[in-house]
């Protein structure tokens, strides 16, 4: 995957993520290009960022860090094979953000 395709794929993922967060009425901000922070009522955060050097999307949550690589059709966790949006929904729920859907 070249740089332009990586940017296009991550931009699409971030747009989908933002729409799901807005629908779930969760607080988030975009402090810089390729970084999205979700803040929860208890003050904790979940951070999603584009990591261009590795061509991955990285997620930092209270439960740990996760790296997702595009397999041609979806963003897949490099450790356990889970899909990005399913993992984000689970992480948001476990961190106290309630139910979020990214369909």
Structure confidence at residue 10 as a pLDDT band (50, 70, 90)? very high
- Domain spanning 3-94: which superfamily? Frataxin/CyaY (3.30.920.10)
pLDDT in tens, 46-84: 999 999 999 999 999 999 999 999 999 999 999 999 999
Structure confidence at residue 91 as a pLDDT band (50, 70, 90)? very high
- 35 pLDDT more than 90: yes
pTM of the model: 0.93
SS3 content of the chain, % helix, strand, coil (to 5): 30, 35, 35
pLDDT for 103 equals 84
Contact between 62 and 95 under an 8 Å Cβ cutoff? The reply is: yes
pLDDT in tens, 94-103: 998 778 889 8
């Amino acid at each position: 995957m070249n740089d332009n395709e990586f940017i296009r794929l991550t931009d699409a993922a971030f747009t989908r993520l933002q729409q799901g967060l807005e629908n779930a009425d969760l607080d988030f901000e975009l402090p810089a290009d390729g970084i999205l922070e979700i803040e929860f009522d208890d003050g904790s955060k979940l951070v999603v960022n584009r990591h261009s050097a590795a061509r991955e999307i990285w997620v930092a949550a209270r439960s740990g860090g996760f790296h997702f690589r595009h397999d041609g059709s979806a963003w897949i966790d490099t450790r356990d094979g889970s899909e990005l949006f399913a993992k984000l929904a689970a992480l948001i729920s476990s961190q106290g953000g309630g139910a979020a859907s990214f369909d």
